[in-house]
Copies of this chain bind each other. A is one copy, B any other.
Amino acid sequence: MKNIRVIIWGFGAMGQGMADMLFNKKGVEIVGVCDRNPSFVGKKVTDVLERTDIASNVVVQADIEELLEKGKADLCLLATDSFVKGAYPKIRMILEHRINCISTAEEMAYPKAGEPELSRKMDEIAKANGVTVLGTGINPGFIMDLLVVALSGTMKDVTHIKANRVNSLSPFGPAVMEEQGVGIGLETFLEKRAKNELAGHVGFKESVHMIADALGVELSGFEQQMEPILTTVDRKSPYGDAKKGTLAGIHMTGQGKVGGKVMIDMHHPQQIEPLMEGTHTGDYIEIKGTPEINMAITPEIDGGIGTIAMCVNMIPHVINAKPGLKTMIDLPVPRAILGDMRDLLE
């Protein structure tokens, strides 16, 4: 039986992490990598990753069309976008080459929440070409949605859900510091928020809709808010510098309402050096109903590694799935793959 053949499209932190992880797995091989970053194009993937232990001749190339044509891959890991609108033309191209697709785009974790029309099209194209497309990641994709749904499976009824992901931004680089407003003053924050220039967390809408659909409740509304986390002490991380009085990060909150009342309550404060003001990081889920569930994962599951692992670990499930657009609630649970990945193929 041949190895599972994978293309990676997008060779930033996520794409590189997936390549690095795949090189350590059995029964799977990277047959192509696409990125337009001139500092990567033409370089061997193993050289970019400084993996001297791996024999692979795959070179980063800029032309995806050529790669999809000649690649004869089973699946493409797409790590280029956060929003469905940006990912859609790429996903369509992948599916039309009869290649399965896993996307890291946050909105792809439950695309019909924000883009029902594009979701319908992706489902159609995937079915017409006999392949499957899935969006996943640590969050959305696991912590604040799939894990909530799975825990609810032990319950006779559910009346209220609170999910709270409290994480540290300290390990992240300059791009994240800027997206999350680390070090800016309150006035700048208010201006940027008004202009929609701060990314914050993308995914509450997707997580809330995934939970509501899984449990079979109809949402009467969805809202989200972005508030500054102002530090009362100077904080410093490798790439972040938040002087007393400025932003250490951003606190996103979101609510899914049923019958006008909040049923799904999301909290996601992200900041550098949270412990400096006594904030312990972790993933917390509280579900009211019968029985009640009170879960804590401390510290939080690492977001970068978690997203990389989720995408790679879902490869066999996506290949096995019926054709179409799938989400995490449609497929068997993810799992660390320590053996040969082909053993999971049906």
Interface residues of A (CB under 8 A from B): 21, 24, 138, 142, 146-147, 149-158, 214-218, 289-291, 293-299, 301-302, 305-306, 308-310, 312-314, 328-340, 343-344
A336 in contact with B215 given A24-B157, A153-B310, A291-B305 (CB within 8 Å): yes
Task: Give the contacting residue for A338; candidates B154, B217, B308, B338; CB below 8 A.
Answer: B217
Q: A154-B334, A293-B301, A295-B296 are in contact. List 8 more A-B contacts (CB 8 A).
A: A150-B335, A153-B313, A155-B336, A156-B309, A158-B338, A214-B335, A291-B302, A328-B333
Task: Give the contacting residue for A296; candidates B296, B313, B344; CB below 8 A.
Answer: B296
Q: Which residues of chain B are near A154, meaning CB under 8 Å?
A: 138, 142, 301, 305-306, 309-310, 334
Q: Which residues of chain B are near A146, meaning CB under 8 Å?
A: 150, 333
For the residues of A in contact with B, the DSSP-based class is: mixed
Q: Nearest residue in B to A216 (C-beta to C-beta)?
A: B339
Task: Give the contacting residue for A152; candidates B157, B329, B335, B340; CB below 8 A.
Answer: B335
Do B295 and A343 touch (CB < 8 A)?
no
What are the 10 A-B residue pairs with the smallest beta carbon separation, nearest first?
Answer: A216-B339, A153-B334, A152-B336, A291-B302, A150-B333, A154-B306, A158-B336, A214-B335, A155-B336, A295-B297
Q: Which residues of chain B are near A344, meaning CB under 8 Å?
A: 216
- Alpha-carbon distance between A21 and B158 when the two chains are bound, in angstroms: 13
Task: Give the contacting residue for A332; candidates B142, B152, B301, B329; CB below 8 A.
Answer: B329
- Alpha-carbon distance between A81 and B289 when the two chains are bound, in angstroms: 29
A153 in contact with B329 given A295-B295, A296-B295, A297-B295 (CB within 8 Å): no
Query: Could you pull out 11 A-B pairs where Cβ atoms are within 8 angstroms?
Result: A24-B156, A142-B154, A149-B333, A150-B335, A152-B336, A291-B306, A294-B297, A295-B295, A296-B297, A329-B332, A330-B332
A293 in contact with B289 given A154-B310, A332-B329 (CB within 8 Å): no
